Amino acid sequence: MAEAFKENLGRSAIVAIADAIKSQNTAFDKQRFIELASEDLDELSLMQRNRQIAEVLQQTLSSNFEQNCQDLVAACEEFDPLSEQVKRSGLRSWQSLPIKEYIGKYGVEDIPIALQALADITALFSAEFAIRHLLLADEDQVLKHLENWCEHDNHHVRRLVSEGTRPRLPWGFQLTSFIKRPEKTWPLLERLKDDSSDYVRLSVANHLNDIAKDHPDWLQNQLQNWVEPQNKHREKVIRHACRTLIKQGHAGTLNMLGYKPLVVADGELSILTPVVQYGDKLAFSFCFQSTPKSPVIIDYLIDFQKANGSLAPKVFKWKNTQLSNTGEFNGERSHAIKPVTTRRYYNGHHELAILVNGQEVARQSFTLEGC
C-alpha cells in the first residue's frame, strides 16, 4: 500500500528537521522538539502537521528571530541561484515547508528579515503559503518588496511574487483584500507577464484565473490590452488565465480570443453508454455543421446528481480546433466515472451537454448505477 501523502511530514521528516537545526545550533533542544512536534501526528492532515511543527519551532527556538532565520536557512539545502546545482545539502522539499511556515507566521514583527529568509529558501519548496502571513500583517510593506523581486535573478523568487499573492491559492488561506481589489496586485502581474521563465508565466496565468472567478468583466477588459497576436508566450498566458471564463461562456473573453458565436446546424449528440456502471466510462459522440474554417472551442458539461436529487454542473475540456473546409465536426469522447477525492457520485439520472464557443447546443441524459 502506498504511503499516505501526509507522511511527507511524518516522524522521519521531524527527525530530519531536528538534526538539521541541531547542526547549526548546538543549544537547540532536539529531543523536546521531536516529542512536541510528533504529538497526535496520526490524527493530523499534512497542513495541520505543517502548522504544528512551525508552532513547536516557535516554542523550542530562541527569542532572537533574526538568528533563528539564519540557522534555519543554513539548515536547508543551498543552490547556486542560476544553475540550481546543490552547493550544500540539507533540508529540502516538504521538510522545508514548516521552516517557511515558522518564518512567515512568526516574522510579522521583522518583515524584511522574514522576506529575505523566504527568498533564500523558496527554491526548495515554494514559500507561497508562508508569505501570506506577512501580507496579512503589512500588505503595503510586503508589496513594495515584491515589486523589487520582479527583477530578481532567481525565477523561484519571481514566481513567489505572483503565486504568494494569489487571491484564492489552493491549500492557502484566501487574501480577501486582493479578492475585493484585484488592482492591488495588477502592477506585479504586468511586470511578470512576459517573464523569461514559463514557470513564472504559468503562475501569472493561475493568479489571473483566480481574479476571473470574482471580476470576469474587469479582467477581460484588462487582458484586452495584453493581446499581441505575434506574441506566443503572451497568448499562452492569456488563454490559460481565461480557462474559467471560457468554460463559463463569457462572451467578451471568447470574442477577445477570436471565438465568435456560431450558428450550429444538424447537431446530433449520441450517448453510446446510456447506462454507466460506476467505475466505467461514459462514451458519447457529437457532430454538427457550421461556418467553414471557424475557430471553435468544444467542451462538455456533466450535470452530476447530488444527494438531494438536484444536479450540479461541471465543465470539462474537449477540443480547441478549426472547422474543416466544409464546416463539419464529428468526434467521439469518453469520460471515466471512477472514485476521486473531489467528488462523490450518486446513482440515478445525470445529464450531458455539449458547449460550442461557450454556448450549449445539445443535451442528453444517462443513468449511473453501482455507486
User: Looking at residue 225, which CATH number applies to its domain?
Assistant: 1.25.40.290
Considering the domain architecture, whether residues 171 and 204 belong to the same structural domain is answered as yes
* Helices assigned H by DSSP within the chain: 11-24, 30-37, 46-60, 65-75, 97-105, 111-121, 131-137, 139-149, 155-164, 176-180, 186-192, 198-212, 216-224, 232-241, 243-247, 251-256
Mean pLDDT rounded to a whole number for the chain: 92
Nearest Cα neighbor of 33 from 46, 16, 8 is 16
Q: Could you tell me the CATH number of the domain that includes residue 323?
A: 2.60.40.1930
- pLDDT, tens digit, 9 for 90 and up, residues 288-329: 999 999 999 999 999 999 989 899 999 999 999 999 999 999
Please give the residue range of the domain that contains residue 206: 5-256
Which residue(s) pair with 366 in the sheet?
350
- pLDDT, tens digit, 9 for 90 and up, residues 124-166: 889 999 999 999 999 999 999 999 999 999 999 999 999 999 9
Please give the grid coordinates belonging to residue 35: 516529542
Given 213, 231, 256, the domain boundary residue is 256
Considering the domain architecture, whether residues 177 and 49 belong to the same structural domain is answered as yes
C-alpha to C-alpha distance for 258 and 239, rounded to whole angstroms: 11
Considering the domain architecture, whether residues 223 and 299 belong to the same structural domain is answered as no
- pLDDT, tens digit, 9 for 90 and up, residues 99-118: 999 999 999 999 999 999 99
Banded model confidence at residue 1, pLDDT cuts 50, 70, 90: very low
Considering the domain architecture, whether residues 114 and 242 belong to the same structural domain is answered as yes
User: DSSP of 63-101, one letter per residue?
Assistant: S-HHHHHHHHHHHB-EE-TTT--EEE--B-GGGGHHHHH
Q: What local confidence, expressed as pLDDT, does residue 325 receive?
A: 94
Considering the domain architecture, whether residues 275 and 141 belong to the same structural domain is answered as no
Nearest Cα neighbor of 157 from 193, 185, 199 is 199
With cell 511543527, the residue in question is 53
Considering the domain architecture, whether residues 212 and 347 belong to the same structural domain is answered as no
Give residue 238's identity as a one-letter amino acid code.
I
Which residue(s) pair with 300 in the sheet?
316, 354
Q: Is the pLDDT of residue 62 over 80?
A: yes
Q: What local confidence, expressed as pLDDT, does residue 2 receive?
A: 47
With cell 477577445, the residue in question is 256
Considering the domain architecture, whether residues 200 and 146 belong to the same structural domain is answered as yes
Considering the domain architecture, whether residues 273 and 210 belong to the same structural domain is answered as no
Considering the domain architecture, whether residues 251 and 276 belong to the same structural domain is answered as no
- pLDDT, tens digit, 9 for 90 and up, residues 8-54: 888 989 998 998 999 889 999 999 999 999 999 999 999 999 999 99
* C-alpha torsion 204→209→212→218, nearest 10: 20
Q: What local confidence, expressed as pLDDT, does residue 260 receive?
A: 87
- pLDDT, tens digit, 9 for 90 and up, residues 67-100: 999 999 998 876 555 556 655 566 678 889 999 9
Give residue 351's identity as a one-letter amino acid code.
E
Given 256, 278, 295, the domain boundary residue is 256
Query: What total number of domains does the chain contain?
Result: 2
The Cβ of residue 152 has, within 10 Å, a number of other Cβ atoms equal to 16
The total number of residues shown for the chain amounts to 371
Considering the domain architecture, whether residues 341 and 198 belong to the same structural domain is answered as no
C-alpha to C-alpha distance for 321 and 343, rounded to whole angstroms: 30
Considering the domain architecture, whether residues 288 and 317 belong to the same structural domain is answered as yes
Given 198, 228, 256, the domain boundary residue is 256
Considering the domain architecture, whether residues 293 and 216 belong to the same structural domain is answered as no
